[in-house]
Amino acid sequence: MDDVRSYDDGIVGYFIEDLSVGMSASFQKTVTEADIVLFAGVSGDTNPVHINEEYARKTFFKGRIAHGMLGAAYISTVLGTRMPGPGAVYVSQNLRFRAPVRAGDTVTARVTVAEIILEKRRALMNTMVTVGETVVIEGDATVSLPTRGD
């Protein structure tokens, strides 16, 4: 594991020097009713399009949808746990919401290294969340990373 940092407690993540353009990692999860309700509770976003089927049926979505930021949170999962992993700090994120996610959908969040700015200890990432072949969220993120010298 020369290309990742590892701590005594088993936590593993990449150093900035070990990233290369094109590297990617992903996280996949099936969104449940409980996920949507719990996210509404934690975030305070109780928009009825997320939690009231009768209301949501009357919208252009024709039914309840998951919070866009719930889908975006899976990008954070990749960045913080897979790649770059522990030690990475989110600096910024741009998001474009393309399609809804519903309870029962399996989402895949993927992060791909687009650029490395070694002198600033930053990596620019392309971010995408899909349901099957449908892109539901796309964007880019900047993360700050430790170096081997830290």
How many C-beta atoms surround the C-beta of residue 11 within 10 A?
12
27: phi then psi, degrees, rounded to nearest 5: -140, 135
1 has a pLDDT exceeding 50: no
Which architecture, in CATH terms, is 4-32+66-144? Roll (3.10)
Strand segments, DSSP code E, in 1-144 are 4-6, 12-14, 24-30, 89-97, 106-117, 122-131, 134-144
Mean pLDDT on 6-33: 84
- Round the average pLDDT of the chain to a whole number and report it: 92
Strand segments, DSSP code E, in 18-74 are 24-30
4 has a pLDDT exceeding 60: no
Per-residue confidence (pLDDT) for residue 148, from 0 to 100: 82
Could you tell me the two tokens for 23? 């590297």
- pLDDT tens, position by position, 33-84: 999 999 999 999 999 999 999 999 999 999 999 999 999 999 999 999 999 9
What band does 26 get if pLDDT is binned at 50, 70 and 90?
A: very high
Per-residue confidence (pLDDT) for residue 149, from 0 to 100: 73
Per-residue confidence (pLDDT) for residue 6, from 0 to 100: 46
At 88 the three-state DSSP class reads coil
